[in-house]
Amino acid sequence: MMLVTTKKMLNDAKNGGYAVGAFNAENAEMVWGIVHAAEELNAPVIIQTTSSTLKYFPPVYFVHMAKAAAESTGMPVALHLDHGANFELAEECIDSGYTSVMIDGSALPFEENIRVTQKVRDYADNFGIPVESELGKIGGKEDDTESGESQYTDPGQAAEFVNRTGISSLAVAIGTAHGIYAKKPVLDFNRTTLIKKTVSVPLVMHGASGLSDEALREGVEKGMNKINFATELRIAFTAAIKAHMAEHPNDFDPKKYLGPARIAVKELVKAKIQVCGSAGKA
């Protein structure tokens, strides 16, 4: 199957009461692990890359990797720009073949966030590409994305923001954070329910790495339709390499130590797909 957009995928999740897992990839091995997990569970899946990752490899590399992976499995796979830092990067990703983009203007004043989001959406509309944006601030640090304390999304502002920008999905701040949690987060899932009543688009949860399965399931129950995972995948990937090299310190063939790493990613992604409730939804 060719790469698909996230629009139908997430609207199906909204109507079906589940979430689609969105997984950040850094290399071909992680792309392989993500898509093969989806294939084994017959699930739709979203591959994501951050602005920082695209400084390491340009968007066109990930487009070709994701296309090859999607075509080899036959699963519905979308390729999404996560936390797009500016219009120019969103434009480059769309031109390269990404099938979904996020523009993150959450650190900007409300009107400026609307302006930059509208600009990306206007460009994306020319290609039928859906746009995700963020309102409120999701705390923590991941790659180039860094915020202080979370600033919860206001349900009333959410309605105005979605109506004026015409976005396809909305990332909301309910107390989650990027990176590793230093302490147990206080999550306001009731806010999710309120926001869901005011907007018609699917809602997105960022900062899911490290949350319990119970918390993730509650997020889905309260209305989250896309859940992002990044840090946990990196930890699993690196831990598998370290474990292999501890047992085989003289190995120098990358296939020897990257093979277990991609399997570790696949197994973690399978577990998250199950928690999101998207297994069997392809």
Per-residue pLDDT tens, the chain, 282 aa: give them. 789 999 999 999 999 999 999 999 999 999 999 999 999 999 999 999 999 999 999 999 999 999 999 999 999 999 999 999 999 999 999 999 999 999 999 889 999 999 999 999 999 999 999 999 999 865 444 455 544 445 789 998 999 999 999 999 999 988 876 555 455 667 888 899 999 999 999 999 998 888 899 999 999 999 999 999 999 999 999 999 999 999 999 999 999 999 999 999 999 999 999 999 999 999
Tell the burial category of 243 from Cβ atoms under 10 Å away from its Cβ (0-12, 13-18, 19+).
Answer: middle
Q: What are the chain's domains?
A: 6-276 (3.20.20.70)
d(CA 271, CA 82): 21
What phi, psi does 92 have (nearest 5°)? Answer: -60, -40
Quick one: 260 exposed, middle or buried, by C-beta within 10 A (0-12, 13-18, 19+)?
middle
pLDDT of amino acid 172: 94
- Residues ≥6 apart with Cβ < 8 Å to 156: 198
Catalytic residue selected from 82, 104, 143, 188: 82
Question: Does residue 154 have an active-site annotation?
Answer: no
Tell me which H or E stretch contains 74. none
